[in-house]
Every structure is written in structure tokens, then in C-alpha cells.
Structure 1
Amino acid sequence: MRRSMTMGLCAISLIACSTAGQSVAAIENVSTASSLPVGTCINMGNMLEPEKEGAWGGALIVPEDFARIKAAGFDTVRIPVRWHNKTQQQAPWAVDPAWMDRVQTVVDQALAADLNVILNSHHFDPIFEDPAGVAEWHGAVWKQIAERFADYPEDTLWFELENEPHDKLDNSNLIETLAPSYDAVRAVSATRPVIYGGQNWSGVDSLATLPLPDDPNVYPTFHYYEPFAFTHQGADWAGPDIPPPGRTFPTQEDRAMLARDAAKVAAYIERTGKVPFMGETGAYDKHISTPDRVTYHRTVREAFASTGIGMCAWAYANTFPFWDRQSGKWLPGMRAAMGLPEDD
């Protein structure tokens, strides 16, 4: 999720269709396209990626969280982790052993609940300012991560090398910058899934020029917070141009935009033979009611459903939450918006 920035589709089938004036091409090779079984997914947001665990109002992760997520019907959890301030600031850039142990404990808890796990690097801030200068450091951290989890199952634990490239880290230098990290993972595991997101905070348009290593076990991702004026209204971390409260959703223009964006994903699948997944999507709860957030998630899910992508909601229980810690209940309608049953 971005922390500093200015920032109903017809079915896609063998017959091309048109909606909101936009032609949506058929996906001819969807049955053979390469994809991760992400399914319905939720982010453990604002927990392990703040400067200090729980610093942004998130409670410590406990096993009951993952049991609850699994019981709700989710297939996968994405675990964002801040690493750069938990390491030595010079070679050999050793990760704090206590932090590595804590991350491993959380991963163990999620896997024990029979969930797939996406483990990522989140807010490795120096790499966005100096990609070439920080690449070796970033790679050294991933070497330690890969070695710690070397014996973990490759079909359920997946590595996402860096969240939301932006600033000076873009698609033109992405492969080169992340090469030390990719090589570190591949030195330990030849086939563990490795995930790449593209430039400009991994927005859907980043897919058009997203470079990937020539590796069948590399998978693309993108994030979706459109329209930003709705999803981030009143978000005080959103930079100098904070969208003001009051924006409604969906307008006719919003629906047309969703159709265009789903068509971009369909075109990417057709062109590359790889199915990306939506690593983050959500709407800020401070100025958006739960019913309006339900409408947002349902509308986005339905718009992209025919592309076959997995979707990871932001987030479980802190900022854009699905689970309300105060009431000890899932917020009404939120699971159904993601296509899950609402049984309590």
C-alpha cells in the first residue's frame, strides 16, 4: 500500500463484447495461461510493515487471526514486511535475528492455518531513491530470507521481491535492480514462485511495459485503488493533493474506467500468457461508509472476474479493515463483496 504519494464489465469470453463504448477482446489462451492460485486473498496490512510492529495502530498478529481468515473462506494471505530498518546499514546487511524469527513465526502461523502465503519486502525506502546503489543491500536481505525459508513448501509460500516500485525505481531499471534479490532466491530454490510488480506504485498501467525474467515461475502483480479520488478521500498520508471527502462511487465514468482497465489485464494475459493478480485493492474507512466500501469491492471484483485474476483485499484489521477488532466481528457485507459466504 502507498504511504507517501500524490496519487460492471461484460464477460470476457470467446465472443468479444463491448461495454461503455470500450471493446473488450477475448482471452484466447486463458486455459493455458500461467497463474498463481491466489484465489481470494487478504493483506495483513499495517502490521509488519510499519517502522515498528503495530506502530500504525495494528495489533500483533496471533494464530487466531489466520484461523479466522481461513474459516471465512480466504485462500491466501499477503504479508507485507519492512526489512530495511531491521538490518545492518552496511555490508553484510545482516537482518536482526529477532525480527527474522518473528517473521518466520507469522509465516508458520499462516501456513498452519492452511493458507497460501505471499511474503514480500514492503517500504524498502532506500531502493526507490537509489536503485543501483541499494540493489546489493536488497539482494543480501533476500538471500537471508530465502535461506531461512529454503525448506518451506514452494507451492504455498511465494516471494514478492518489492512492493510498489516508484520514484527512481521503474520498469526501465527494474530487472537490473532486483537481479541480486532474484538471483539470491534462485540460488536456494529454482522453482519457488517469485512475484514482480511494476512502476508507478504497480498501477494497472504498469503491466504494459512490465519486464520479467525469462522464468516460468515468475509472476506479475498490480494494485488497484481506482478511482483514487474515491478510495483515498481524506487520507492524510496521500501527499499534498489529498482527495477531499465526499466522492461517490460508481459513476458512469467509473464503470467505463473499470471496463477499460479489465480490458488492459485481458490484453496482458493474451500477449504474455501470464495471469497477473491484484495484490492490493480497497477503500479508506475513515470517510467511506461500510456499505459504500462493500459496493466498491463488489464492483471491482465483478469488473475483473472474467479475467480470472486472484485478488488481495487491503486489509484484514487495520486501515481499510474487513475485521473489526472492537466488535470482534467481520464488517457486514465485506466478505460477500469478495465473493465469500457471510455466515455470521
Structure 2
Amino acid sequence: MRRGINIGNALDAPEEGAWGVYIKDEYFSIIREAGFDTVRIPIRWSAHADSNPPYNIDEKFFSRVDHVVNEALKQNLTTIINIHHYGEIMQDPMGQKDRFIALWRQISEHYKNYPENLYFELLNEPHGALTSDLWNKFLAEAINIIRETNPTRKIIVGPAGWNSIPKLNELVIPRNDENIIVTFHFYTPFEFTHQGAEWVNPSPPVGREWLGTREEQEQIRNELDMAVQWSLKHGNIPLFLGEFGAYSKADMNSRVRWTYFVAREAEARNIPWCYWEFCSGFGAYDPIKEEWIPELLNALIPKTKMYYVSAETEYGNISGSGWYYEGTYATIQLNETEIGFLVLNVFDHFEGLKPKDRVVDERTVEVYVDGARRIVAVWRKDYSRLILLIIFIIAISVAIILLHKKHDHH
């Protein structure tokens, strides 16, 4: 595992397709050809299993999962299946414990003869009433059950508190099992990655940017370092960044910067990652156009000597943001230079230009690409129309008063 992607909002929806994603067979070759080596397939088994003992999993659902897993393995992708969106266990852990164990007994038995690049992930984001203490007991039992039929299969397990890094300190992993990988999820800063997210209450306001300032970078580095420190303290246990991504309500320039930075920082620490997610609200692939969103794909899997140029403006529209090869020029253009009626916003100049950049006309520049570049259109207020109007109104008023006075004298 090095670079992966989650096919979210599909088999983890109440029914596949209910959240707009139905997994097509060709998705796996598309993912492979783009340069990914891993796919994580979130699955809501709890919606397809009996609520009463022996908690049988629906055979039709099992065969659908088989089909999807086989398509992924055909592409030689490391394939992770998990238990996802098991809401009942978060609310009533003790009442659901036997069912959780029974699900893993069936899944592990069912896939015991599958190739070793099929990985099992015990449970996505334990939280709520499923505290660390309870989760440590549950995971130990589930691992024991899986080991009866899958003695050496890779098992992925993460901490409570939504698989958050700070909760790693409360996670207890069975000793002497070298086929365990510890996962964590990363959405820091949450106010940026989840801005406008409809399922979050209250939803963080839209408009938060991520510019990659020193403070912003430090925040991410420090949190990732916490995970590395924990791993070193626990015999260098392998880590896995199972989810990270920024929702589509964030501006694309910020999403690109954040995604690129988190992916490279994980790689610098030898942590494999899986982007959240393929083709839905965080998606890097457009299922309607049937093509990758190049800004995000290049942020995840960068091409050599390619850099991101971001063009930003507070008013009007600006074109030219994107990935460019070193030594080329990026053309950045404003669609208009004056906006407003009485108070005008007037384009003043581009900020962030360097000596090698070329000014084409009053609203167009060619930016020389020698690294990542950020060009910002700077505007100023022009009150001249408003002032003229005020002077005009005053003049008319004075004229009317004078006329009245003249009239009164007569």
C-alpha cells in the first residue's frame, strides 16, 4: 500500500446507489491506471444482515461484494473491506457486540481463501457510546475470530473517537501479531475540510481558505508526528492514513494545496494513504463527465516538475488556475476590471508577480512557472460616481432652494 482511494457513498449507503454512487466495474481499471495501488471499499454490512441470531448476512449482498472485490483484485489493487456506518453499535455497543462478532465470523470465513492483498478493516470510526475501553475488548475478540480462519491476513484497526490521532493513546492492540496495521483519519482543520457539510451540525461556514501558511503547515505536521511517535512507542507498528479529504464546498485552490500537502507529509513519514473519496462530495473523479478532476488527481499523484498555479480574486471571475510544467507560462485573466454601479470595484494590480512574468494587457498576465505560484487580483473602491451623484443632488437641492427664495421675494 502506498497511494489509495476510497470508493465511498456506494456500498456504505443504506442501499448501493441511494447516495448517488453505484460501483462500475471499470472504476477499478480507471483507479489503477491513474497510479493508485490501493482501494478501500466501505461497506454497511449492518443494513444487509439479520438483527437476530445467528445474524446471517444476505447472500445476494455477499455476492455483490464478491463481485466488487474481485474486480478490484483483478487490477492487482490492495483491496480493503471494512464495516462502515454501523450506527447501532455506536449507540448500543453491548447490545450489538454479538452481532458485530458474528459479522466478522461470516466475512472472515467467506473470504479465507482470497489472495493476501485483500485486507480486513474491523470498524470505521468507532465513536459515541463505543468508548476506547469497550472498543479494545471488541477488537481483541474480533481479531481472535478472524485469526481462526485467516491466520496471516492483514487486519486494519483504528482508535475510538472517530479514528482520531489523539485517541491512539487509548488503543490497545494484541501483542505478537505482526499482521496488524493501525489506521487513523485526518480532516484537520475540520472547519476547512468540512465547510458547508450538510451532515455536520452545526455546519462550519463556507469560505474558509487553506493557504499553506507556516502555522497551517505546522498544525498538520504536529498531528502527523503524534501518530508517528505513538507508532515508535509501540514497536514501530505500521500506520495507515485511511481517510483524508476536503469537501467540494471549499474553493478548489485551497483543496489542491491542502490535499497535496497532507499526501506529501504522509509519504515523508512512510505512511500509506487513502483519499476520501472517489466520485462523490469529496470526489477526485467526475462520474458524469467520466474523467478525473485534474487539479485533485495531480495533487494526489503529482507529475514530476509540475507545479500548481492558483489565481484568486474577490470580485468577478479569474481563469488560469491549474497544474503547469516547470518552465512554461500560465495565462491568468480577469473577466472584467470594473464591477458595481455607484461604488465601483476597480481592478488595480496582480499581487505575487515576479520579474520573469509578462503583462499582456490590463487584465491578463503570463506567469512563469518555476514552482508553486499564487497570484491574487487586488481591487480598490472607486467612489467617483457616488461623489458625482451626491454633488449633483446637492446642486439640484441648492438650485431648488434658491428658486424658492426668489419666488418668495416676489
Match of 1:162 among 99, 111, 123: 123
Q: Which amino acid aligns with 2:84?
A: H
Letter in 2 for 1:57: G
SS of 2:172 mapped into structure 1:
coil
Residue 101 (structure 1) aligned with residue 83 (structure 2): no
The structural deviation recorded for 1:296 is 1.3
> Are 1:309 and 2:249 matched, yes or no?
no
Relative CO higher for 1 or 2, CA cutoff 8 Å, sep ≥ 6? 1
CA distance in 2: counterparts of 1:127 and 1:159, whole angstroms: 18
Q: 1:76 and 1:289, CA in 2 relative to 1: closer, same or farther beyond 3 A?
A: same
- Structure 2 Cα separation of the partners of residues 168 and 271 of structure 1: 28
Matched AA of 1:129: Q
Aligned to 2:42, the other structure's residue is in SS state strand
User: Paired residue for 1:24?
Assistant: none
Match of 2:27 among 59, 65, 69: 65
Partner of residue 54 from structure 1, selected from 17, 35, 40: 17
Partner of 1:210: 171
Give the 4+ runs in structure 1 shifted more than 6 A: none
Q: Does 1:232 align with 2:190?
A: no
- The corresponding residue for 2:40 is 78
How far residue 299 of structure 1 moved from its aligned partner, in angstroms, is 1.3
What is the identity, as a one-letter code, of the residue corresponding to 1:192? Answer: R
Separation in structure 2 between the aligned mates of residue 309 and residue 331 of structure 1, nearest angstrom? 24
Matches within 5 A, 1:115-264: 115-154=77-116, 156-214=117-175, 215-239=177-201, 241-249=202-210, 250-264=212-226
The answer on whether the counterparts of 2:2 and 2:271 sit within 8 Å (CA) in structure 1 is: yes
Q: Residue type of the partner of 2:282?
A: F
In 2: Cα distance, 1:251 partner to 1:207 partner: 27
Identity of aligned residues (%): 36
Distance in 2 separating the partners of 1:86 and 1:262: 36
Task: List runs of 5+ in structure 1 lacking aligned partners.
Answer: 1-37
CA shift digits 1:223-252 (9 cap, x unpaired) = 00110000000101012x210001111344
1:254-288 per-residue CA deviation (whole Å, 9 max, x = no partner) reads: 22211211221221232111121100000101x12
Answer yes or no: is the 8 Å Cα contact 2:132–2:170 preserved in 1: yes
Cα shift readout 1:274-320 (whole Å, capped 9, x = no counterpart): 121100000101x1233322111111122333210001001011110
Q: One-letter code of the match for 2:192?
A: F
In the TM superposition, residue 134 of structure 1 has moved relative to its aligned partner by: 1.2
Q: Secondary structure at the match of 1:245?
A: coil
3-state DSSP of counterpart to 2:209: coil
- On the 8 A contact 1:131/1:177 being kept in 2, the answer is no
- Say if 1:81 and 1:120, in contact at 8 Å, map to a contact too: yes
Whether the 8 Å contact between 2:207 and 2:251 is mirrored in structure 1 is no
Deviation of the 1:132 alpha carbon = 2.2
Moved more, 65-74 or 182-191: 182-191
Inter-partner Cα distance in structure 1 for 2:134 and 2:260: 35
Match of 2:75 in 1: 113
Aligned-residue CA RMSD (Å) = 1.7
* Partner AA of 2:2 in structure 1: G
Structure 2 length as normaliser, TM-score?
0.71
Rounded Cα–Cα distance in structure 1 between residues aligned with 2:253 and 2:123: 33
Counting matched residue pairs gives 303
SS of the equivalent of 1:81 reads coil
Amino acid at match of 1:94: N
SS in 2 for 1:334: helix
- Offset of residue 137 of structure 1: 0.5
Please name the residue that 1:18 is paired with. Answer: none
2:5 to 42, 46, 67: 42
- Which amino acid counterpart does residue 23 of structure 2 have in structure 1? I
Alpha-carbon distance in 1 for matches of 2:230, 2:186: 16
**Matches of 2:72 and 2:231, distance apart in 1:** 30
| Cα offset, 1:186, TM superposition | 1.0
> Counterparts of 1:257-336 in structure 2 under 5 Å?
257-272=219-234, 273-285=236-248, 287-336=249-298
| Superposed displacement of residue 340, structure 1 | 4.2
SS at match of 2:41: strand
Letter in 2 for 1:124: Y
Distance 1:310 1:247 in 2: 28
Structure 2 unmatched runs, 5+: 307-322, 324-410
Q: TM-score scaled to structure 1, two decimals?
A: 0.85
Paired residues of 1:170 and 1:198 also in contact (CA < 8 A): no
SS in 1 for 2:128: coil
> Is the 1:77–1:110 contact (alpha carbons within 8 Å) kept by the matching residues of 2?
yes
**Structure 1: distance between partners of 2:152 and 2:96:** 26
Asked if 1 retains the 8 angstrom alpha-carbon contact of 2:140 and 2:174, the reply is: no
